[in-house]
Amino acid sequence: MEYKIGDTVVYPRHGAARIEGITERTLRGVTRQYLRLAVLSSDGLEISVPADAVEKVGVREVVNGVAVARVFEILRTPVVEEKTNWSRRYKLNVEKIATGDVNKIAEVVRDLSQRDDEDHGLSAGEKRMLARARGVLTSEIALSEGIDDSEAQRLLDVNLGYQDPEPGDEKHHAEAPEEPAFQTLYRLEEEERAAKIAAKQAARAAREAAAETKKSGEDSSSDTDSSPNSSNGSLPEI
């Protein structure tokens, strides 16, 4: 696709950016055009991208309303996160953000938001990652929906369950989730505790049943051994 100055695009890991200039550079006798991108979610960050390699780099157009609706649906959907250590979880989230895919970035925002509470909490690195992922989503949603960044941030919080929806939010595909993100881990932990208790009760009941069966068998054997004809097999005297 041909881009021109003033166009808005999305750059992986940084979100929405505006093309501020198109320049030419000659390196080793080869002249190439470069797009100068100003990242909208940062103060003064600019990135140069070869015009003939924008697709390879991952530069793309801003998503439409259908894609925004899908992002919000992901934010509203609680998931059972895999049991993994902090470093593995961090690495997976870094990889998702690096794709530039809004759905993957929405997953990062949702998953980290689920852990962002007093009992679980996020590390300093994960807090920075959450802020960064939210910033990337915010900048693109704001452009797609024609709203400012603060309103886009509020819509994120509505779909995560941090704020109640306001009249008109449905026009931007936003609605309250059935379960706020910060309650998901509490529910999962309670379900896990209940399952462990049920398993212990079932195991105890099985042991008691086995013991009762064994006792019944021993009592039956004792009754048989105590009968008159079963002591030594001899005939009674006349």
On the question of pLDDT at 203 being above 70, the answer is yes
210 versus 174: the higher-pLDDT residue is: 174
Q: In 3D, which of 75, 204, 184 has the Cα closest to residue 130?
A: 75
Q: Any idea which residue has 């780099």 for tokens?
A: 57
What are the tens digits of pLDDT across the range 30-66? 899 999 999 987 778 999 999 998 888 889 999 999 9
On the question of pLDDT at 118 being above 80, the answer is no
Predicted pLDDT of residue 164: 94
Highest mean pLDDT pick, 34-43, 93-102, 174-183: 93-102
The continuous run of DSSP H or E covering 35 comes out as strand 30-39
Predicted pLDDT of residue 82: 67
Confidence of residue 186 (pLDDT cuts 50, 70, 90): low
| Mean pLDDT, all residues of the chain | 85
High-pLDDT (> 70) share of the chain, %? 85
Q: Is the pTM of this model over 0.75?
A: no
Predicted pLDDT of residue 199: 84
Q: In 3D, which of 106, 100, 97 has the Cα closest to residue 76?
A: 106
High-pLDDT (> 90) share of the chain, %? 49
Predicted pLDDT of residue 238: 47
Predicted pLDDT of residue 181: 74
Top CATH class, 65-186? mainly alpha
8-61 and 65-186 in the same fold = no
174-178, Cβ contacts within 8 angstroms, sequence gap of 24 or more: 174/72, 175/72, 175/76, 177/75, 177/76, 177/77, 177/78, 178/76
Reading the block at residue 127, the tokens are 């807090």
Top CATH class, 8-61? mainly beta
Confidence of residue 208 (pLDDT cuts 50, 70, 90): confident
Predicted pLDDT of residue 117: 72
What are the tens digits of pLDDT across the range 143-177? 999 999 999 999 999 999 999 999 999 999 999 88
**Sign of the dihedral defined by the CA atoms of residues 80, 82, 84, 90, in that order:** negative
Hey, where are the domains in the chain? 8-61, 65-186
